[in-house]
Amino acid sequence: MIRRFIESKHTKAVPFKIIRAVLVIGICFMVLFPMFVRLTVSLMDESDLYDPTILYIPSNFTLNNYRMALDGLNYWESLRNSTLLAVATSILTLIACSLVAYGFARFQFPLKRFLFFMVVLMIVIPPQTVMLSQFMFFRYFDFGGFLPFITRDGSRHINLINTFWPFVIMSSTVTGLKNGLFVYILRQHFRSIPKELEEAAYIDGCGYLKTFATIVIPASVPMLTTVFLFSFAWMWTDNYYSSLFLTAPRILSSALGSLAANLWHTYVNTGLGQMTFITPGFSSIVNNAGIFLVILPLFVLYLFAQRAFVEGVERSGIVG
């Protein structure tokens, strides 16, 4: 019976497969075409950009833009800093957001509705609105008034600007980039998992945290991976917090933001040629090369993370 069902499905599916292929290829084309244009631009010489007879295929093919971008981004050092920052913050974000989301999903406590409303409010209010006071908070960080008891010299506040601490503190207290969204996504997900297994675990004397770690987390691998990837990608390309809290430690996103200007400075200072202002063509070719260098690690990460999706499906078989 089942076998006949599957077989009939297979034979019927040929037109369906064709339609599906057309749709998938079409959607992917829409996303990839602008990327393709970027790629061609990043391989062009600046003069090609101004030549109206050249479209997509560079006549002066060059890898020079990539060489310049590697230099200007200080690529390997920035890559290391960015990786360190993004890995640390996304792991902390994932832990904090999933704990908070589970609390909102499964427990009843006073003020719950109000507090969850505040989580949504944190998604609504863009970080730009709270820029000034956040900067002040970390510039004169006082540990909620406890700092004099911790430090040896009894200083009232310390300056956390230009360290990774603001990012660590924000991502472990659910105030980082789009963390409200992560809490919301995970809460909705936890609420859609059957409750029976957790209840069985409680009856067996399993504690709340242990139940969460051993029952709920394994059933949520695809969703947790997705949240991790969002958090990682947004931290990786973030130019808002990194320009607010970091000026000295170079990370990829801030380096990319000032790439054209940096290269222009070295260009002028070393006396390689005359360039009185940054031409749009020059900034376009180096920025596009830079963008590829910056997003390539993300793309590779995503291809690896897909395995977690597949494993997650297999594991989630234990629920239900």
Partner 1 sequence: MRKKASILGVRRSYIKKAIVGYLFISPFLVGFIFLFLGTLLQTFEFSRSFMSVGPDGYVLTPVGWDNFRRLFFVDPDFAFELVRAVFGMLPEVAMIIIFSFFTATLINQKFMGRSLARAVLFLPIILTSGVVLALEMNDAMLLYLSDVSGQAMALDGDSMRLLNSIDNMLGNLFITVGNFTIDPAFMIVMAIDNIYDIIIASGVQILVFLAGLQSIPPSLYEASTVEGATGWENFWKITFPMISPLVLVNVVYTIIDSFTRPTNEVMGIIHSMAFGQLDFGGSSAAALVYFLLVILALGIVVGLLSRWVFYYD
Binding residues among 3-62 for partner 1 as defined by CB under 8 A: 5, 17, 20-21, 23-24, 27-28, 30-35, 37-38, 41, 49, 55
Region at 143 (left for phi over 0; alpha for psi -120 to 50; beta for the rest): left
Backbone angles phi, psi at 86, to 5 degrees: -70, -40
* From 119, 160, 215, 246, residue interacting with partner 1 (rule: CB under 8 A): 119
* Nearer to partner 1 among residue 270 and residue 303 (C-beta): 303
CB of 271 to partner 1, least distance (A): 27
Residue 300 burial by CB count (10 A; 0-12/13-18/19+): exposed, middle or buried?
Answer: exposed
* From 18, 57, 121, 275, residue interacting with partner 1 (rule: CB under 8 A): 121
Which listed range, 73-81, 83-91, 268-276, 286-294, lies at the site for partner 1 (CB under 8 A)?
Answer: 286-294
* From 96, 160, 263, 293, residue interacting with partner 1 (rule: CB under 8 A): 96
Q: How far apart are CA 243 and CA 263, in angstroms?
A: 19
CB of 259 to partner 1, least distance (A): 9
In the range 289-318, which residues lie near partner 1 by CB under 8 A? 291, 294-295, 298-299, 302-303, 306, 309, 312-313, 316-317
* Nearer to partner 1 among residue 9 and residue 80 (C-beta): 9
* From 79, 100, 201, 289, residue interacting with partner 1 (rule: CB under 8 A): 100
Q: Does 112 bind partner 1 (CB under 8 A)?
A: yes
Residue 189 burial by CB count (10 A; 0-12/13-18/19+): exposed, middle or buried?
Answer: buried
- Hunting for tokens 């800093």 — which residue is that? 81
In the range 187-246, which residues lie near partner 1 by CB under 8 A? 188-189, 191-195, 208, 219-220, 222-223, 225-226, 229-230, 233-234, 237-240
Residue 153 burial by CB count (10 A; 0-12/13-18/19+): exposed, middle or buried?
Answer: exposed
* Nearer to partner 1 among residue 144 and residue 271 (C-beta): 144
Tally the C-alpha atoms within 13 A of residue 172's C-alpha that lie toward its C-beta: 8
Could you give the dihedral angle defined by the CA atoms of residues 233, 239, 243 and 246, in that order, rounded to the nearest 10 degrees? 20
CA distances from 98 to 133, 176, 186 (A): 27, 14, 6
CB of 195 to partner 1, least distance (A): 5
x/- mask, partner 1, residues 159-198, rule CB under 8 A, reads -----------x-xxxx-----x-xxx--xx-xxxxx---
Q: How far apart are CA 167 and CA 90, in angstroms?
A: 10
Give the DSSP letter of residue 318. G
* Nearer to partner 1 among residue 152 and residue 304 (C-beta): 304
* Nearer to partner 1 among residue 53 and residue 269 (C-beta): 53
Residue 116 burial by CB count (10 A; 0-12/13-18/19+): exposed, middle or buried?
Answer: middle
